[in-house]
Amino acid sequence: MSTVHIVGGGLAGLAAALALTARGRRVSLYEAGPACGGRARSYDDKQLGCRIDNGNHLLLSANDTVFRYLDAIGARDTLVGPGKPVFPFHDLADDTHWSLRLSRGRIPWWVLNRRSRVPGMTLGEMSGLVRMLKAGPDATVSQCLRPGALADRLMVPLSVSVLNTRPEAGSAALMGRVMRESMAKGGDACVPWFPAEGLSESLVDPAVALLRRRGAEIRTGCRVAALEPAQGRVGALMLPEGRRNLEPGDSVVLALPAQSVRDVAAIVLPELIVPDAFESILNLHYRADVLDRITGDLRLARFAGVIGGVTEWVFVKPGILSVTVSAANHLAERASAELAETIWREVRAVVLPYLRRNDQALLPETTPPHRLVREKRATFAATPAQEKLRPESRTRLSNLVLAGDWTATGLPATIEGAMRSGLAAAGVLCAARTGSVAFQS
Ligand SMILES: Cc1cc2nc3c(=O)[nH]c(=O)nc-3n(C[C@H](O)[C@H](O)[C@H](O)COP(=O)(O)OP(=O)(O)OC[C@H]3O[C@@H](n4cnc5c(N)ncnc54)[C@H](O)[C@@H]3O)c2cc1C
């Protein structure tokens, strides 16, 4: 039987492997890191003495592909969330907090209700959302939004975290696509979810276990240095131990990050163009055990959006308060210790109102033990110019396909996009119609 060699064990590579093994294909997967997961992984942090994720990841119920993947690996119930479309927010500028409560159906009744909508927004601002849904390829998010509270308190923070790009540069068409698949379908498509324990426990380890049960060869700590050509096809992989020649029916899925794919494919596909501008994401994990003590909507959602400071999202996890700052290139020069102190002050301001007076000592004024993770190339910059550099899965070599969140998925760099790219790559190799490739047989 021929083998599909998958290079890269992130969520795109794992999704491709699941889809291919579901069709009975033999798979060998090569991952350079010590474990699979790539940019969505958990690890034991010695400094904090606990397990953390490299960064907080939020999913929406609209992420169909992710939920089908979770069903296939039996991990849907490892996610937690409020169970309804509720998003608590805190504005540090005037110390107000509120919750956005989307109505469940398609008609946005929530905009008419002061207790559900963004404080200070006007109905006229909704025209900015309509503009975003219809945006052309060169428009930016800022060019579509109408100035006002809806932009400042919802759409700008949302677009920064969805696109990982500032609104002045972010592609309105990409944001519009995400909105069409979520907000425009109503609140039922916008229920937030995230892993209760960790990214690896939810998305990676059960997938690797299932792949092994299906007979896949999974090699971690195995960096593929290059692909070698043979008669217009990929003929061999350069592995740490030497060349692995491909059999005549074998094929290759390159499921690498954009920044490494050109090096690995340099000999077989020298003309390959991929996104080449990136944005970082900063995560700060603080040791603080408040999950059982918080009240109100923060207890329900376990996360809150934050405006008017450096912090963008705070997640309340077992033993950890964890902060995400997206589009963080502008923070590259800021000293880690100073950022940790500034962000801790913000976290206290956000979380203290949800703690009873007796529990407030759980958040001391002094910054607790913490870990700062800067993912320097977290995603490609989702600008109109970078969008034009995203290639399709199929390449001119009949036995080589591409996968990864940076390929032309039509979505920004997200888990949903990465998994769709894995399905698309598997579909090309199986000559299957889009939509007919699945994670389970
Ligand atoms: C901090 C952070 C927060 C995020 N938040 C969200 C979120 O809230 N919601 C969301 O949907 N998405 C989020 N994302 C995006 C999401 O994590 C990515 O889109 C997704 O994980 C990308 O998967 P991938 O498989 O395309 O790439 P990767 O995860 O980069 O996988 C590529 C794999 O290839 C391996 N590799 C590299 N070179 C080689 C080689 N030569 N040989 C073999 N293996 C190699 C790498 O080690 C890696 O495991 C976030 C990303 C980050 C970094």
- Are the C-beta atoms of residues 287 and 368 closer than 8 Å to each other? yes
* DSSP, residue by residue, 147-216: SSHHIIIIIHHHHHHHHSS-TTTSBHHHHHHHHHHTGGG-GGG--EEEESS-HIIIIIHHHHHHHHHTT-
B/e letters for 200-239, b = 16+ CB within 10 Å, e = fewer, are: bbbbbbbbbebbeebebebeeebebeebeeeeebbbbbbb
Rounded to the nearest angstrom, the distance between the alpha carbon of 259 and the centre of ligand 1 is 11
Residue 202 sits at φ, ψ, to 5 deg, of: -85, -45
Q: Which helix (H) or strand (E) holds 416?
A: helix 415-429
Token representation of residue 283: 């995560």
Angstrom distance (rounded) from CA 18 to CA 343: 39
Residues 6+ apart with CB under 8 A from 241: none
Question: What pLDDT is attached to residue 130?
Answer: 95
Rounded to the nearest angstrom, the distance between the alpha carbon of 129 and the centre of ligand 1 is 29
- Atom 46 of ligand 1, residue of closest alpha carbon: 38
CATH of domain 44-81+192-198+278-380: 3.90.660.10
pLDDT tens, N- to C-terminus, the chain (441 residues)? 899 999 999 999 999 999 999 999 999 999 999 999 999 999 999 989 999 999 999 999 999 999 999 999 999 999 999 999 999 999 999 999 999 999 999 999 999 999 999 999 999 999 999 999 999 999 999 999 999 999 999 999 999 999 999 999 999 999 999 999 999 999 999 999 999 999 999 999 999 999 999 999 999 999 999 999 999 999 999 999 999 999 999 999 999 999 999 999 999 999 999 999 999 999 999 999 999 999 999 999 999 999 999 999 999 999 999 999 999 999 999 999 999 999 999 999 999 999 999 999 999 999 999 999 999 999 999 999 999 999 999 999 999 999 999 999 999 999 999 999 999 999 999 987 767 899 998
Rounded to the nearest angstrom, the distance between the alpha carbon of 255 and the centre of ligand 1 is 10
Amino acid at the residue 90: H
- Are the C-beta atoms of residues 153 and 72 closer than 8 Å to each other? no
Q: Which residue, among 271, 269, 268, 273, has the nearest Cα to 258 in the 3D structure?
A: 273
Q: Which residue, among 389, 346, 395, 388, has the nearest Cα to 367 in the 3D structure?
A: 346
Rounded to the nearest angstrom, the distance between the alpha carbon of 257 and the centre of ligand 1 is 7
Domain residue ranges of the chain, discontinuous segments joined by +: 3-34+220-276+387-429, 44-81+192-198+278-380, 103-189
Angstrom distance (rounded) from CA 307 to CA 217: 46
Going by CATH, does the domain composed of 3-34+220-276+387-429 fall within 3.40.50.300?
no
Angstrom distance (rounded) from CA 62 to CA 261: 29
pLDDT in tens, 19-57: 999 999 999 999 999 999 999 999 999 989 999 999 999
DSSP tag of 335:
-
Sheet containing strand 192-195, edge to edge, reads 59-60, 192-195, 79-80
Residue 33 sits at φ, ψ, to 5 deg, of: -75, 175
- Atom 7 of ligand 1, residue of closest alpha carbon: 57
- Atom 37 of ligand 1, residue of closest alpha carbon: 256
Angstrom distance (rounded) from CA 189 to CA 191: 6
Question: What pLDDT is attached to residue 1?
Answer: 86
Q: Which of 30, 52, 57 to mutate to test the pocket of ligand 1 (most atoms within 8 A of CB)?
A: 57
Gyration radius (Cα) of the chain, Å:
22
Q: Which helix (H) or strand (E) holds 422?
A: helix 415-429
Rounded to the nearest angstrom, the distance between the alpha carbon of 241 and the centre of ligand 1 is 25
Rounded to the nearest angstrom, the distance between the alpha carbon of 366 and the centre of ligand 1 is 34
Ligand 1, CB within 6 Å, residue ranges: 7-13, 30-33, 38-40, 54-55, 57-58, 223-224, 255-257, 260, 264, 281, 283, 375, 378-379, 404-405, 413-416, 418
Token representation of residue 342: 């500034």
Angstrom distance (rounded) from CA 67 to CA 63: 7
Question: What pLDDT is attached to residue 425?
Answer: 97
Rounded to the nearest angstrom, the distance between the alpha carbon of 256 and the centre of ligand 1 is 8
Q: Which of 30, 256, 263 to mutate to test the pocket of ligand 1 (most atoms within 8 A of CB)?
A: 256
Token representation of residue 385: 């110019």
Token representation of residue 392: 């399709």
